[in-house]
Amino acid sequence: MAKKVSSKTETPKENPVPEIARQDADIVVEKRLIALYTLQCVDSEIDKIQIIRGELPQAIQDLEDEITGLETRIQNFKNDINETNQRIAAEKNEIAEHNDMIKKYQKQQDNVRNNREYEAIKKEIEYIELQVKLCERHLKEASAHIKEVQQHIEAAELLLSNRNKDLAAKKDELDDIIKETEKDEIRLRNKSHEQEQFIEPRYLTAYKRIRNAARNGLAVVTIDRDACGGCFSKIPPQRQTEIKMHKKVIVCEHCGRILVDDNIAELSRENLKK
Domain membership flag for residue 190: no
Average pLDDT over residues 183-204: 88
Q: Which of 183-187, 202-206, 250-254 has the lowest mean pLDDT?
A: 183-187
Q: What Rg, from alpha-carbon coordinates, does the chain have?
A: 43
Distance CA 56, CA 36 (A): 30
Domain membership of residue 84 (yes or no) is yes
189 in any annotated domain: no
Domain shared by 134 and 160, yes or no? yes
12 band by pLDDT with thresholds 50, 70 and 90? very low
Examine the domain organization and report whether 32 and 103 are in the same domain.
Answer: no
Domain of residue 42, residue span: 23-53+200-274
Are residues 106 and 29 part of one domain? no
* pLDDT value, residue 7: 44
60 and 176 belong to one structural domain:
yes
Average pLDDT over residues 234-244: 93
Task: Say yes or no: 59 and 134 in one domain.
Answer: yes
In this structure, the answer to whether residues 73 and 41 fall within a common structural domain is: no
With respect to residue 243, please indicate whether it lies within any of the assigned structural domains. Answer: yes
> How would residue 181 be classed by pLDDT, with cut points 50, 70 and 90?
confident
Instruction: Tell me the angle at which helices 115-196 and 19-53 cross, rounded to the nearest 10 degrees.
Output: 140
The answer to whether residue 125 is domain-embedded is yes
Q: How confident is the model at residue 24 (pLDDT cuts 50, 70, 90)?
A: low
Residue 73 confidence (pLDDT) above 70: yes
Instruction: Indicate the number of domains in the chain.
Output: 2
**CATH number assigned to the domain comprising residue 152:** 1.10.287
Same domain, 156 and 204: no
Distance between CA atoms of residues 174 and 27, nearest Å: 44
Average pLDDT on 108-116 reads 86
